[in-house]
A and B are shown apart, each in its own frame.
Chain A
Amino acid sequence: MKYKRYPKINEEVYTLTLENKLKVYYIPRTGFQNKIAIIATRFGSLHSNQTVMIDGKSKKIPFGTAHFLEHRMFSIKDKDASELFLNLGASSNAFTSYNTTAYYFKCNDRFYENLDVLFEMISSFDSTSKQIENEKQIIIEELKMYQDEPATKLLNNLFKNGYQYHLINQDIGGTIESVESIDKKMLEACYKKYYDPSNLVLVIAGDLNVDELEKYLNNLKVFDKKIDKPNIKKLSFKNEPLEVINDRTDIYQDISLPLYGILFKLKPVNTKLQQKAYLQMEILLSYYFDASGIYTEDWLKKKIINNSISFYHGMNIDLNYLILYNINDKYDISINHILDVFDKKHFTMTESDFKRIKNKLIGSLIKEYGNVEEMAKEYLHYLISDMDYFKEITILNQITLEDIYETYLEICNASHCIVIERKDAK
């Protein structure tokens, strides 16, 4: 296995590409009981509307298909992978995001037996039509569960108001109608196209013997039956305009206090620069809106905000957005104050502020690296987006105050939309 060391943070990563093109990453965690393995495919909700061949015809992938497939992948012929994992002392789960579907288990012992189950599960699609029909009801209940959450509704509406063509405007789970339209043939076709080992990555973390792991991986016999490398087109949403669709939407929601969100539609960033862009945004927003922020205490005193403003910066394929949200009766006053910050006149960060926030991020990252499960999931998240999680601190140290100012100007120049959920909206 290839070896890479990150001396400043005392981290190391072993990598191996198998003959079938599956890429494996092993991150040692000496002394920990917990071992985790996550296998992920580059197939998520953004791949909806791509095409697959069914009965010789090209068919569009319905919304929610990646998530549906995630639900059914635990089926291994007449067995249930969750049960096999449990019998081996492991807990297992899966998740679907915009660009990924991932499956994982964590255990203390019998790691390789569990890894066998993970590979067996991922190397074939075994659901029956009856199981698929039954799963639809479960998924529909899942969709309803999330739709009953005010924050999910806010997020979905912000994306719908902000984006015309980019598929961020669709729920990861799809709609009740799209879920109902998905059948066995569609799931099989998507499985065949997107679950080829060349499209998968495996991240392992724990206290394992490297030689033993390498030997296991080199003797792996799964995926052998696959021969043709699928033709997966690179996703592109370059036709998305820089302007939002609707500036403002007020929606009815049965809640005690109004919840609002502002989405800034930022110019997409080249993959190679995304990691730096994330960190720059984190520094800028901490400076303004964290509990230590320059406005937070004053705005709380004046009841302009309720609690610190929450923020989320998301980047993906041809996508870059910032969402700020809060709960407040005086939502209009609150929104105006936030928008005023981004009028190109309110950048006041000093070198000492900048250094202090960098310290905070360094501390926060080192702590994150110390948690086996969270670290492995974050490592995968970065990997899928062609970034290196363990380079965060190095990149952080390359950022200058001028870079932060550039990020500030980007927000000032961005088109934005507002969604307000409240009881008195019509």
Chain B
Amino acid sequence: MNNKKTIRFQNNCRLILQKDKKFKYIGVEVVFYDKFDYKNITAYNVLSRILLNSSKVYKTMKEMNQKKEELYDVELNTSYKYWYKLATFKVIGNFINPKYVNNKNYEEEIFSFLSSTIFNQNIENHSFDKDLFNIAKDLVANSILLQKDQPDSYAFISLLKMLGTKKQAIAASTIGEKKVLDELNASNLVDYYLHLINLPFDIYVYGDIQFEKIKRLVKKYFNNQTTTRKKYQLQKALNPNNIKNKVIYRDVLQAKVAICYTTGVLYNDKDYYAMRLLNNLFGENQQSKLFQEIREKQGLCYSIFSTFDSVYGTIIVYTGIPIEKVKETISAINQLIDDLKEGKISNKDIEMAKIDIISSLNQVKDNMFKHMNLEIRAACYNQEYDVEKIINLYQKITKNDLIEVAKKIQYKTHVVVTKKGK
């Protein structure tokens, strides 16, 4: 990426532009910043389905989606993400580079469409259209139900649920709660909507763009008054007291296992990059300890990986294994953690993990939405996303640094989804 520009408008909205000629499409993210509230997960999930399917201008689902088609497949989506006390609600869109379209007003139409989707909803007498609301509510209700039907992700979700209460961001369902959903109606959802559109927001636009043109369009269509920006706590080390392991019985052919470890290492900590590197060699790259030992050597699984969450400092290992091998697999995984603490890390392991992470960082330059997300996260922490600086930090990590962070890893609990009677 090159040619970056940040513009701050009078209404406190920031416009972040990245010009890159190589892209055939233009990406837009409108990011609202809010305090995390578990009820918003459900409400915004319903609201999203209304926003994406209607507006004051295009009142029905059919009209709205036909307009997206007419505009050469404008894709719109939303995402609600949270970092401890901070939550972001994003409206994400992409459309083709105007040079492929025989329409001089194409970009103008897109920004007008995007703006009306977000800020000009079809509300009459403080109520959304009841039919559309019911469709949205049904879709969310079914999504809540269907979470159980994918045994692998269900193991993951169940593990997260055990790490806190449903009101806490770590354990809150990413789809929503039935109880909150039952309380929603076409009228009280308007309150959530009005709260949302009055939040402070930023707009990211990346692609083969002309700065002045985009600036003019944003000024014209996103001129809402926004409130003052607030600071929210973004991370907190998770260290729950004794949590019992959980076994969930389902009619499955393979046991799905999710194991939680705590590390106490967070995004802002000095050990953050060392922990990310350690997790990469432990369970992220294709030659990881987990992959080599559990899959290649012991032949216990097809899929195995670990993820490091720097908001709470947890490492979660997931795998699918033969039903009768649960105990020995968990024990073998724990042994691998002990090996890390004892320094059983070769220079080759470290080198490969560094190469893998640095290569992924460089590849971000080709993925505008990944790039935006990294920029947005850094901005939330009041930092600049500087890839060269990050690469340099990874290069400096030593074996001793890795052993020191490995010593912080503590087993907490695990969930097994398996077949009854085995």
**A residues engaging B (CB < 8 A)?**
9, 29-34, 80, 82-83, 85-92, 106-108, 134-135, 137-139, 141-142, 144-145, 147-150, 253-257, 286, 290-294, 296-297, 300-301, 303, 306-307, 327, 356-357, 359-364, 366-367, 369-370, 372
Contact = CB atoms under 8 A, between A and B. Distances in A.
Nearest to A90: B359
Interface in B299-344: 299-303, 320-322
A144 B356 contact: no
B359 A291 contact: no
A80 B288 CA distance: 13
B328 to A, nearest CB: 14
Contacts of A296: 61-62
A86 B145 contact: no
A270 B145 CA distance: 43
Contacts of A87: 351-352, 355
A152 to B, nearest CB: 11
Given A297-B62, A359-B73, A145 B24 contact: no
B85 interface: no
B9 interface: no
Contact of A306 (B65, B71, B138, B301): B138
B67 to A, nearest CB: 9
Interface in B225-280: 250-254, 256
Nearest to B364: A33
A91 B359 contact: yes
A297 B61 contact: yes
Given A292-B65, A297-B61, A32 B322 contact: no
Given A257-B142, A359-B73, A372 B366 contact: yes
A351 to B, nearest CB: 14
A144 B71 CA distance: 43
A300 B355 contact: no
A277 B210 CA distance: 39
Given A307-B142, A367-B24, A148 B253 contact: yes
Interface residues on B, range: 35 or more
B377 interface: no
Contact of B299 (A108, A138, A292): A138
Contact of A141 (B22, B152, B251, B322): B322
B211 interface: no
B150 interface: yes
B25 A33 contact: no
B362 interface: yes
Contacts, number: 175
A31 B62 CA distance: 38
Nearest to B354: A89
B94 A367 contact: yes
Interface in B21-69: 21-25, 53, 60-62, 65-66, 68-69
B65 A290 contact: yes
A141 B300 contact: yes
A372 B321 CA distance: 34
Quick one: which of B322, B359, B365 has the most chain A CB within 10 A?
B359
A254 B24 CA distance: 44
A399 to B, nearest CB: 16
A356 B286 contact: no
Q: Which 6 A-B pairs have the closest CB atoms?
A: A363-B72, A363-B73, A31-B22, A370-B24, A292-B65, A137-B299
A291 B65 contact: yes
A141 B254 contact: yes
A367 B322 CA distance: 41
A362 B365 CA distance: 25
Contacts of B352: 83, 86-87
B286 A292 contact: no
B96 interface: yes
A132 to B, nearest CB: 11
B66 A356 contact: yes
Chain B CB within 10 Å, residue with most, of A141, A256, A257, A301: A141
B72 A362 contact: yes
